[in-house]
């Protein structure tokens, strides 16, 4: 069994982010390229740094459904008015929290996401993922590597 916990968030919260919409959820290579291009764009034009300066400095990779289409972006906790950014609503409730560690900061969020959607969600009994989104953060740890967590809203199911 993989390592995870269930945490309760008592109040709705918002995240502000820049991202891209996917037309075909199953186009893994194309979607990865679109995501990487957006990350490079907002890094180079300073938009991501602007968001990080407004918030607490912690960057999140966010997966969300916007107009019933999959969307992936990069942003911060909180609601901020920044041109081109979207504000996403995350609801109070129980969240599945999945930790991970690694040596490569830029790959760790994708590794945790892959672990969750590659089988961990099926291992978690008594809960089902309800969205509408999830977020993953990565930060440096004291050992020179990186640690991160993915947070997904879940609901308890009988059965």
Sequence ranges of the domains in the chain: 5-156
pTM here is: 0.92
Distance, in Å, from the CA atom of 110 to the CA atom of 113, rounded to the nearest integer, reads: 5
Q: Under CATH, what is the fold of the domain 5-156?
A: Multidrug-efflux Transporter 1 Regulator Bmrr; Chain A (3.20.80)
Per-residue pLDDT of the chain (159 residues; tens, 9 = 90+): 469 999 999 999 999 999 999 988 788 889 989 999 999 999 999 999 999 999 999 999 999 999 989 999 999 999 999 999 999 999 999 999 999 999 998 889 989 999 998 999 999 999 999 989 999 999 998 888 999 999 999 999 986
Strand ranges (E), the chain:
5-9, 13-21, 60-66, 69-77, 86-90, 93-102, 127-140, 146-156
Query: pLDDT at position 142, please?
Result: 87
Q: Return the pLDDT at 86.
A: 97
For the chain, give the number of residues: 159
């Amino acid at each position: 069994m993989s390592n995870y916990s269930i945490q309760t968030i008592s109040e709705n919260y918002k995240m502000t982010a820049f991202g891209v919409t996917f037309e075909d959820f199953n186009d893994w290579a194309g979607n990865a390229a679109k995501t990487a291009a957006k990350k490079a764009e907002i890094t180079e034009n300073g938009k991501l740094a602007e968001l990080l300066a407004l918030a607490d400095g912690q960057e999140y990779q966010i997966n969300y459904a916007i107009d019933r289409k999959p969307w992936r972006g990069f942003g911060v906790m909180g609601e901020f008015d920044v041109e081109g950014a979207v504000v996403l609503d995350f609801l109070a409730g129980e969240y599945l929290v999945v930790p991970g560690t690694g040596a490569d900061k830029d790959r760790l969020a994708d590794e945790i996401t892959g672990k969750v959607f590659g089988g961990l969600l099926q291992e978690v009994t008594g809960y089902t993922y309800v969205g509408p989104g999830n977020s993953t953060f990565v930060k440096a740890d004291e050992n020179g590597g990186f640690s991160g967590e993915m947070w997904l809203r879940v609901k308890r199911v009988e059965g």
